[in-house]
Amino acid sequence: MPGTVGRDQAAIDAGNAAFWNELCGTRLARAVGVTDASPESLARYDAAYMGFYPYLDRYLPDAGASGEVLEIGLGYGTVGQILASGGLTYHGADIAEGPVGMMRHRLGHLGVGPEQAEDRVRVASALELPYEDERFDYAYSIGCLHHTGDIPRAVAEIRRVLKPGGTAVVMLYAKHSARQAWLAAWNLPSRLLRRGPSHDERLRWRYDRSLGGEAAPTTEFTSVAEAKRIFGGFATVQVRRENMDEPVIWRLHVPRTWFLGWPARLAGRDLYVTAVR
């Protein structure tokens, strides 16, 4: 289990709470000149985020959806902002203070009072969600559960808090993908020579790193078969691949959008699991 060997859950949680206090997406924010949290700046960030992950739109509830939605793993809050802007009542949970503060701030922009925002967005672990059984109509978790150190437990928690017939949408990093194959080949010399950071650390760094260049403390990768097994307690499960890196062929950057269709379906780096309880 890359990134978690020999470490206890409390250490993983503490590492995550510290690392993710710098909002995930800060690199993208800087790239589009966003350094404050005004509604205009956040709208610019959100446009950049959705432009980079254009397929995400397909996984979001219809505009007319109603009921309660829980998001787990909030980052800069783009998905939360979209979920909270429609007919759903939004709730969020994250292990780090930074993303929780950002999401409460965003709810403020949407007219939610500070006390209510505090109740609706909580500092909590995906592994111990502070909600009663069968509460939510939807659960969203994009790019979070593979950092928790225990994906099956996090999925069991999502299932527990979903109503029967409720829908979970979870993005997990794929164990087998064009990116993984490329990185395995790229890292081979240092692995053979046992030089530099471990393959595990290099992988974690490639997927998530802070502005200071530190790799995320814990990252796991899941195959399609494993994802189906982990979500086996749900009534239906669909797994679809998305996302590709921008290929560089002899210094020529090929537009990434060309690869977000069938190439991503075959070898994309992220698994989107849609499961109905």
Ligand X SMILES: C[S@@+](CC[C@H](N)C(=O)[O-])C[C@H]1O[C@@H](n2cnc3c(N)ncnc32)[C@H](O)[C@@H]1O
CB of 70 to ligand X, least distance (A): 11
* Per-residue CA distances from 204 to 53, 102, 131, 165, 218 (Å): 20, 24, 31, 35, 7
Please report whether residue 94 would count as binding ligand X according to CB under 6 A: yes
- Binding to ligand X by CB under 6 A, coded x per residue (else -) over 14-43, reads --x---x---xx------------------
Please report whether residue 144 would count as binding ligand X according to CB under 6 A: yes
CB of 252 to ligand X, least distance (A): 29
Out of 142, 169, 239, 273, name the contact with ligand X by CB under 6 A. 142
CB of 127 to ligand X, least distance (A): 6
Please report whether residue 148 would count as binding ligand X according to CB under 6 A: yes
Number of residues that bind ligand X (CB under 6 A): 24
What is the side-by-side strand order in the sheet with 121-123? 121-123, 88-94, 67-72, 136-142, 162-173, 270-276, 236-242
Could you tell me the two tokens for 98? 């930074």
When the beta carbons of 128 and 246 are compared against ligand X, the nearer one is 128
Among residues 7, 117, 17, which one has the least CA distance to residue 73?
A: 17
Please report whether residue 177 would count as binding ligand X according to CB under 6 A: no
Among residues 239, 238, 237, 234, which one has the least CA distance to residue 277?
A: 234
CB of 249 to ligand X, least distance (A): 28
Out of 3, 15, 61, 73, name the contact with ligand X by CB under 6 A. 73
Residue 27 burial (CB count, 10 A) = 13
Please report whether residue 96 would count as binding ligand X according to CB under 6 A: yes
Furthest-apart CA atoms within the chain: distance in Å: 57
Residue 258 burial (CB count, 10 A) = 11
Out of 68, 208, 220, 242, name the contact with ligand X by CB under 6 A. 208
Out of 34, 42, 69, 72, name the contact with ligand X by CB under 6 A. 72
* Per-residue CA distances from 139 to 71, 76, 129, 159, 272 (Å): 6, 18, 12, 9, 13
Please report whether residue 120 would count as binding ligand X according to CB under 6 A: no
Among residues 24, 29, 15, which one has the least CA distance to residue 210?
A: 24
When the beta carbons of 93 and 112 are compared against ligand X, the nearer one is 93
Closest residue to ligand X, Cβ-based? 75
106 Cβ neighbours under 8 A, 6+ residues apart: 42, 77, 80, 81, 84
Among 62-70, 72-80, 160-168, 194-202, the segment contacting ligand X (CB under 6 A): 72-80
When the beta carbons of 91 and 196 are compared against ligand X, the nearer one is 91
Query: Which residue ranges make up the site for ligand X (CB under 6 A)?
Result: 16, 20, 24-25, 72-76, 79, 93-96, 99, 125-127, 142-144, 147-148, 208
